[in-house]
Structure 1
Amino acid sequence: MTPFRTLLAVSLLAATCVSAQAAEFTVKMLNNGPGGMMVFDPAFTKVAPGDTVKFLATDKGHNVETIKNMAPEGVAPVKGALGKDETITFEKEGVYGFKCAPHYIMGMVAMVVVGSNLENLEKAKGLEQNKMAKQRFEPLWVKAEAK
């Protein structure tokens, strides 16, 4: 085997191994769950860059969308359709906040932490939230800070 072919084979094998290591997580959107009424389950998910989170519209009156300014700089916002599953692959490290738009007033929020470089943590924590969302985020901030 020529050196070029050996290098190509090693590169392809390495790329396959990296993509095989990416994980998929599931978060359910529920009317009732372990955290109460109108919840994401789990409300907190820690992933590595390249991992995917599938938000399942288990109960159909929900969506998932990014909370404004609660994602790392330069990341495009997500706005899922009502009653539809949404799959998100996370490439950039940081803290991501999500809500169900119809039930945000009831505190239906979730957090995804990607990697360990949480440069946007303090900015995300400082965002104004309604009373219920703020209450539900409190234990999630503790988990995020624990890295």
Structure 2
Amino acid sequence: MLNKDSEGRTMQFEPAFLKIEPGDSVTFVASDKGHNSESILEMIPAEADPWKGKINEEITITYDQEGFYAFKCQPHLGLGMVGLLQVGDNGPQIDAEEIDKLPGRAAARLAELIAQADQGGEEQHSADDRPQ
């Protein structure tokens, strides 16, 4: 969770897209102050447990259900601070109508990440990676 990522974008998760396997865990690291990680409730598999990390605190989540999980930094959602996890190769997709309900920059950023996932996720990472 960063104020600026390696590409110069402000208020970002880095990496913002991860593809992992069911049963893997991901740790969200509060590298810069003022951020959290929490699921976007309408954008995780129906059987999955939502999460909500506290501001400035590291949080580790284990993902058992296949599908896509969108997440946000609540204080910076309007600035486009969202991310996407793909767990496994199958599972439910995120509904485009739900994306449209997000603030403009967040909707645009999430659409970019979904396009990246659809292209095979140029930037694939292992569960050992720790999003910042």
TM superposition score normalised by structure 1: 0.75
What runs of 5+ residues in structure 1 fail to find an aligned partner?
Answer: 1-28
State yes or no: 1:30 paired with 2:2.
yes
**Which residue matches 1:95?**
68
Among 7, 32, 35, the residue aligned to 1:62: 35
Runs (4 or more) in structure 1 with deviation over 6 Å come to none
> Closer, same or farther in 2 for the Cα pair 1:60/1:115, shift >3 Å?
same
Among 107, 116, 122, the residue aligned to 2:80: 107
Displacement of 1:122 after TM fit? 4.3
What runs of 5+ residues in structure 2 fail to find an aligned partner?
Answer: 121-132
Which has more radius of gyration? 1
How many percent of aligned residue pairs carry the same amino acid?
A: 41
Distance in 2, matches of 1:38 and 1:140, equals 15
Distance in 1, matches of 2:85 and 2:19, equals 6
Distance in 2, matches of 1:111 and 1:62, equals 16
Two-structure CA RMSD over aligned residues (Å): 1.3
Displacement of 1:146 after TM fit? 3.4
State yes or no: 1:78 paired with 2:51.
yes
Q: Aligned letter for 1:126? A: E
Aligned length, in residue pairs:
117
Distance in 2, matches of 1:56 and 1:107, equals 18
Distance in 2, matches of 1:87 and 1:122, equals 22
Displacement of 1:64 after TM fit? 0.3
Among 116, 126, 130, the residue aligned to 2:97: 126
Could you say which structure has the greater relative contact order, defined with CA pairs below 8 angstroms and 6 or more residues apart?
2
Q: Aligned letter for 1:30? A: L
Displacement of 1:129 after TM fit? 1.3
